[in-house]
Every structure is written in structure tokens, then in C-alpha cells.
Amino acid sequence: MKKRTILFLLCVAPITCTPEMSAQNVIPHPQRMTVKEGKLDISSYLSFKTNLTGKELGDMVEYIKDTPLRIDYSAEEGLNKCLTMEIDKENELGDEGYILKVGASGINIYAQTSAGLFYGLQSVLQLAEEDNYNSIKYVEIFDKPRFEYRGLHLDESRHFSSTEFVKKQLDALARYKMNRFHWHLTDGAGWRIEIKKYPRLTNFAAWRPYETWKEWWNANRHYCNQDDADAHGGYYTQEEIREIIDYAAKRHITIIPEIEMPGHSEEVLAAYPLLSCSNDMYKNSDFCIGKEATFAFIEDVLDEVIDLFPSHYIHIGGDEAAKSGWKTCPDCMKRMKEEGLKDVDELQSYMIHRVEQYVNSKGRDIIGWDEILEGGLAPNATVMSWRGEQGGITAAKSGHKVVMTPGDFCYLDSYQSDPSSEPEAIGGYLTIEKVYSYNPVSAALNDEQAEMIIGVQGNVWREYMPTLEHTEYMIYPRILAIAEVGWTMPENKNWNNFRERVNNEIPRLIREGYNPYTLSADIETPMRIDYNKKEIKVALECERTGINIHYTTDGTEPNTNSPIYEDSLTVKGTMHLSARAFSEGKPVGKVLRKDIDFHKAIGKKITLKTKYSPNYPASGEYTLIDGYHGGKGYNDGKWLGFLNTDVDAVIDLGEKTRISRISTLGMQAKGPYVWLPQYIKIQTSNDGKKFKDLDTLTHDIPTDREGVVFHDFVWEGKTTARFIRIYAKIVDIEGGWIFLDEIVVK
Ligand code: ACM
Ligand code: ZN
């Protein structure tokens, strides 16, 4: 299970808007695109002209033949309009860039490589769709990617897919100019790649007596034999893998295999228990690093993997090793003594160094999750930064290459919309807008260090994706945002423009047989607070386009006669806002009902007697009385996080004040150990010294409740006071968070 116990706050870089951007439906957005007057008729055949030769020519023709473009390959000189694909070494396009010119004479693509020509072709295909491949607007594009690595990661262990499914995803990646597929082929829930030397990996460790990961996880987490009647799972044969690699290569996608070590290896150790510290099945999750047999096994497996996969990188995992068995294992202790390793972190690092040397000796490099930094990073390793960005920043500063995949922006297993109306996910909350906002180059890096950031990747962990349909639902459309983050320069990105293009793309994904999330029709209410004017500006926003937002401010339900939202609303005091999206006169999405208050504590003084966590500081203690409410995820910068402590806050209203309501919202998400307070005690005082109890607010939500739950702790009555003390008691569970967003005083 991905533990997600380490939670980082990441700052969202502001998006620069380029107002003149065209919403021409190309994803990712090209760096420079000029749409011109006129269009080229492509309803009849174009001839084909190219200086590609050999396999590159064969692959390109084979690919184009599968598209709706009408090309006559035999009519080079015969037809007056032409598709030209020309390798031109003279230009500034790098390994993947292209120039596309569509004019009266035809479609001309220039690039230094066949990959560049292929990406030019992808832009042609997207542009031609607008008129069902009958015409294409005259256009000039100069385009090349921001990053060399633009990836999707797919977990095959928790739930296994199929050759056909993988090829379908590769088709989509190619369309969005993505070029890496990180294939997570081994993990505790099942081994998924045929290794000829170790048949028990695939006739035993690839099978379990439960269909879904969740059933298996909640039962005994045992494996079974392939030929057992109730065996579920599977693996890719080497022949299938070769076929998939070839399919990907024709789409200019490199497949990077991941073989997990030393942790997440329960399945290997069940099949080959002698590779564990205990020599027993179902006891350890980590390989024993003391035994030479472990290295013999890993080298044998890597031999077959390297033989199959031509990728420069071999991913060796490295994440979340428990490291516990090593502390008492005689073999591991002996290894540590002999090698002068002072702790288990260094023992892990010993293993990664040794495996790196082996992989390097075969002419390849390793890439691993950011835990491979612990105990010292192997000299040529590339780091995949998932526990926030810090690992990546540290690696880049020490001259290592980095792929950024921080959980808060790149984990496509998080909820993408209101968890209460979404199928169960692992936790977290990551809207497509937030994915889109990501900038893989942290401000903490100077220009030279920034060069070490080679790209970005969306990660799909499938604990809670039991079906292929559901897997696609989580991938699309968020992967389109990853594609644009990876390709398009920040100054050419624009959320509203992207939102338009993604909305246009969704029907096409559906037509092509994908199962995307169709974006939320619910209303979000970003606010701006003016403390001097004592007013709040509220915007009403929606992921969907092509809708009208109608709203009311008197508590009644909005309908098509209610005002249409155009510009931000101004709130002084309290507004009882209701809003809903309507499409063609019919309501879509949920009704938003929200009281927006410039309440009595905003802008007053607050003192915290307990400390908030530096990982979730939001904007400090004033977060609790700044008027801004948190959203559905604790990591949006509006929730103040307290780790392993009660919350004790005193608000000074400045003068004796009449109070009729005090409330604060709490959140619970069991996965990442975020708990509602056991209770919240409210006290008041007039001198700030002697407090008297006003009320103690409790709730009845159990800590084992699945998913994300919110609870509003509310006191209502009549009192007067200058000081209010809020005391939130943490649950009696080892370790955990309390998140509060605002203490509302009316
Ligand atoms: C990871 O999510 N454990 C890399
Ligand atoms: Zn051991």
C-alpha cells in the first residue's frame, strides 16, 4: 500500500496568461502557432513526399495508413497537393521538435528526426479533426518540447491489464506527444513479467485467490497457483512484451520497466523465501541484502529484462522499504559490519550502488524513487521525486538528473472531484486544474540545477482501480494536463484555454472508446478578501465549458430565470449564495449552497498555544481567521496542519462582541492519517486570562470510515466575549494530523 504518510506542502506557481492564445484544438499547446486565412482541402488524396528511408519510412507509412488521412503513396509527382515529411538537419528543432506549414500546396512537416516528423503529424491529425479530415486550416507551427521526458506510469501489480489495454494507452500517449511509459511490472500484489529462469514468479507470484486488490489486501494477502480454480492475476510473456515494446517504438515511446527492490517485494519472497531475511513466506517485504543469493537473483532477472527492453533506463524501484527485518538478520548485520555501513539506510544504499554497477556494466542507467537518496545516492542514478519535490531538488543540486512526479500534482490515483460523489480512490484530491498548474522546475533551483530536471510523469497506482474502465477514468483527462506540463513552455500555458481544449477533446476520447472522467459541472468559489474594505470578491468557476452558471443570493434554488454569472460577486457581511451550472436550459452538476461571510474574526488577532506543522503552514496561524476556506484536499494551502498535537488557539476580537455562532470545519482521510478532532471545546473570556466553558462539540464519525469526510463543528446561541479559545483534541491513535481551515465567528 502506498502509505502517503509523508505530506508536503507544495506551492502552486501562478500561471502566466497569454491572452491572444488560440483555442485551436492541439494538445499539448504548440510553442508558436499562427492560424491563417484559408484552408486546405484534404477530402481527396494527397501525394506523399519524404526523405525518410528504411525502417523509419516503413514505420511512418504503416502509422499513417491507420489514420483517416487520405494519402496516395504511389503518386509522388502525380497529385498537385502533397504531404511532405522532410528530415532537415539545418534547423533548431532538437530531437523532437518540428515545423508544420499548411498552405495551398499541401502539408509540410520539417524536423531533424523521425520523432519530430511524427509529432508534426500528430498536430496535423488534431487540426484536421475539426472538419472531419476534409480540410485543414492554413497554419504555421514552430514547436518543440520543454522536457525530454514526458511520461505515464502504470501499476500492473495491484490490478493487471492486458496487451490490448497497454497498446490503447500507448496510442493516446503518442497523440499527446508523450514519450515514456514507465511500466510498474513487479510489486507485492503480483509479479507481471515472464522471467524464464524463475518460473515461480509467474506460475505462483502472479496469482491470488481474489479478484480485487482490496479483497486480497483485507484477507491474508496470499498468492496461489496459476492453475487454481479461483486464481486471478496474470503476467506478460516475453513475446507479448517484445510486441508491446515494438508497438511503442513505432509511436516514439520508450518503455521503462520497473523491477522493485529492495521493498515492495512480498510476491518474490513468497515464491523464493530464501531471498528474505526470515527464509519464510509471508514474513518480509524486503529482500535480504546480506545474502549473495539476492544479488544473483536480481542480476539474473535484470539480464532478461535488459535483453528485452532497449530503454536507457532500468527502474529499480527503491521506495518504501520497511528495512525492519534487516536490523536483526544475521546476514544483513554481517554485511553491514563487513562493508562498514552504519545503519539500514546505508545498507539499502549499498544494494542500490551494487545494482547500479551491474546495470551500468550492461550500458544502461538506473532510475529510482527518491528513497534511493537515503544512505547516499548511487553515482549515475536518476531520481524520480514522488514524496513532494524535495528529493528531486536535493538530487538536482548534487548534479543528478530528476523526473518530477510529486504526489500533490502527479498522482492520478487521487480523487479528481468531490470524493462524496466519486468512486472510491486511495485519497488525496487532485483536480485537472491543479495538475495543469504544475511547474516541474522548482524556484529553489538555479539555471544550471534546473537543467537536471529532465521531465515529468503522471503516476497511476491501481489499488482502487479494479477495472480497465476505471483505470482510464482516472488517467483521462488528467494525463492531458501532464502532457502539456511536459511539452509546453510555461509562458504558453493558460488554464482557461486548456480547459476549452480539454472539454473539446473529451467527446473524441469517448468516440475512440476511452472512458474519461467528463469533468465536473459543480461550481467552485475562489475568493479574494479585501481586509481594508471589509469585503469578499467571489468568483464562480466550473471545469466544464459550454454551460451557464445561474445564481441566487437569497437562499432560493437557482433556475434559468436567476441571474447568469458573469463577473465576481461582492460580499459585505453575509451572502447566502446558491449557484448551479445549466446546459441548454437543463441543470447539470450539483447545486452549490454556501454562506459567504466577512465574519467577526476576520482580520482580528490569533495566538496559537500549540504549533502547526512546517509541512502544512498554509499562511501561518492567521490561516484560521483569514476568511479563506479550505477545499476538498488538505494540501491546497488553505488548511493548517497540526501533526501529533492538539490545537489550542485564542482569538482576540479586540473588544467585547456579541456572538451567535462559532464554527470550524474538520476533515478526516484515513489513508494519510488525517483525523477529525475527538472533540472541540470552546471557551470565552473577557480578559484573556480567565476562560469559561461555552460548549464541547463532538461527532460520531468513526476513525475507520473509508474515504474523505468533513464535519462542521458548530455552536449556536447567545453570548458576548472578547476572547474565544478553541481547543481541538487529537484522537488517541498513534500519529496523525488535524487540519482546520477557518474559525468562523458570527
Ligand atoms: C510510490 O508512490 N511509492 C512511489
Ligand atoms: Zn537479511
For range 524-535, the mean pLDDT? 93
For range 369-394, the mean pLDDT? 97
331 Cα to the center of ligand 2, angstroms: 5
Q: Judging by DSSP bridges, how do beta strands 180-184 and 254-261 pair with one another?
A: parallel
pLDDT above 90 (res 13): no
Of the listed ranges 23-27, 85-89, 695-699, the one predicted with least confidence? 23-27
Contacts of 199 (CB under 8 A, 6+ apart): none
Share of residues in the chain with pLDDT > 70 (%) = 96
The domain boundary, picked from 539, 563, 597, lies at 597
Is 22:210 a contact under the CB 8 Å cutoff? Answer: no
Q: What is the pLDDT of residue 637?
A: 87
- Domain-located, residue 321: yes
Q: What is the pLDDT of residue 706?
A: 83
Residue 351: give its domain's CATH number: 3.20.20.80
Residue 86: give its domain's CATH number: 3.30.379.10
Q: What is the pLDDT of residue 79?
A: 67
Q: How far is residue 291's CA from residue 281's CA, in Å, rounded to a whole number?
A: 16
Q: What is the pLDDT of residue 338?
A: 98
Note whether 611 and 569 are same-domain residues: no
Note whether 564 and 641 are same-domain residues: no
Q: What is the pLDDT of residue 3?
A: 42
326 Cα to the center of ligand 2, angstroms: 5
Q: Which residue range is the domain that position 593 belongs to?
A: 527-597
> What would the pLDDT profile of 542-596 be if each residue is shown by its tens digit?
999 999 999 999 989 999 999 999 999 999 988 999 999 999 999 999 999 998 9
- Domain-located, residue 238: yes
pLDDT above 90 (res 361): yes
Catalytic residue among 59, 96, 156, 187: 187
Note whether 70 and 212 are same-domain residues: no
Q: Which of 629, 648, 647 is nearest to 637 (CA)?
A: 629
pLDDT above 60 (res 244): yes
Residue 740: give its domain's CATH number: 2.60.120.260
Note whether 270 and 324 are same-domain residues: yes
Note whether 401 and 430 are same-domain residues: yes
Note whether 45 and 139 are same-domain residues: yes
- Domain-located, residue 519: no
pLDDT above 60 (res 19): no
Work out which ligand 1 atom sits closest to the CA atom of 3. 3
- Domain-located, residue 547: yes
- Domain-located, residue 319: yes
> What would the pLDDT profile of 378-388 be if each residue is shown by its tens digit?
999 999 999 99
Q: Judging by DSSP bridges, how do beta strands 535-538 and 32-41 pair with one another?
A: unpaired
Work out which ligand 1 atom sits closest to the CA atom of 411. 2
pLDDT above 50 (res 15): no
Catalytic residue among 320, 408, 597, 741: 320
Q: How far is residue 503's CA from residue 543's CA, in Å, rounded to a whole number?
A: 8
pLDDT above 50 (res 240): yes
693 is annotated as an active-site residue: no
The domain boundary, picked from 128, 143, 158, lies at 143
Question: Which pLDDT band holds residue 344 (cuts at 50, 70, 90)?
Answer: very high
282 Cα to the center of ligand 2, angstroms: 15
Note whether 560 and 698 are same-domain residues: no
Q: What is the pLDDT of residue 24?
A: 79
The domain boundary, picked from 87, 121, 143, lies at 143
Q: What is the pLDDT of residue 721?
A: 97
- Backbone φ and ψ for 331, nearest 5 degrees, come out as -65, -45
Q: What is the pLDDT of residue 389?
A: 97
Work out which ligand 1 atom sits closest to the CA atom of 2. 3
- Domain-located, residue 115: yes
Nearest protein Cα to ligand 1, atom 2: 2
Counting the structural domains of the chain, the total is 4
Q: Which of 233, 283, 170 is nearest to 462 (CA)?
A: 233
Choosing from 369, 371, 385, 463 the residue with most ligand 1 atoms within 8 A of its CB, the one to mutate for a pocket test is 369
Note whether 592 and 613 are same-domain residues: no
Tell me the pLDDT of the chain averaged across its residues. 94
pTM of the model: 0.90
pLDDT above 80 (res 631): yes
Q: What is the pLDDT of residue 7?
A: 34
386 Cα to the center of ligand 1, angstroms: 6
Q: What is the pLDDT of residue 23?
A: 55
Q: How far is residue 538's CA from residue 516's CA, in Å, rounded to a whole number?
A: 30
Note whether 562 and 611 are same-domain residues: no
252 is annotated as an active-site residue: no
Determine whether the shortest distance from the Cβ of 260 to ligand 1 is under 6 A.
Answer: no
Determine whether the shortest distance from the Cβ of 411 to ligand 1 is under 6 A.
Answer: no
Note whether 15 and 133 are same-domain residues: yes
Q: What is the pLDDT of residue 5?
A: 35
For range 317-346, the mean pLDDT? 98
Determine whether the shortest distance from the Cβ of 2 to ligand 1 is under 6 A.
Answer: yes
Contacts of 145 (CB under 8 A, 6+ apart): 94, 96, 97, 177, 486, 487
> What would the pLDDT profile of 280-316 be if each residue is shown by its tens digit?
999 999 999 999 999 999 999 999 999 999 999 999 9
157 Cα to the center of ligand 1, angstroms: 13
Q: How far is residue 142's CA from residue 360's CA, in Å, rounded to a whole number?
A: 37
Determine whether the shortest distance from the Cβ of 369 to ligand 1 is under 6 A.
Answer: yes
Note whether 222 and 353 are same-domain residues: yes
320 is annotated as an active-site residue: yes
Dihedral angle, C-alpha 637, 423, 184, 146, nearest 10 °: -50
For range 13-29, the mean pLDDT? 57
Work out which ligand 1 atom sits closest to the CA atom of 384. 4
Choosing from 315, 367, 386 the residue with most ligand 1 atoms within 8 A of its CB, the one to mutate for a pocket test is 386
- Domain-located, residue 517: no
- Domain-located, residue 500: yes
Note whether 284 and 212 are same-domain residues: yes
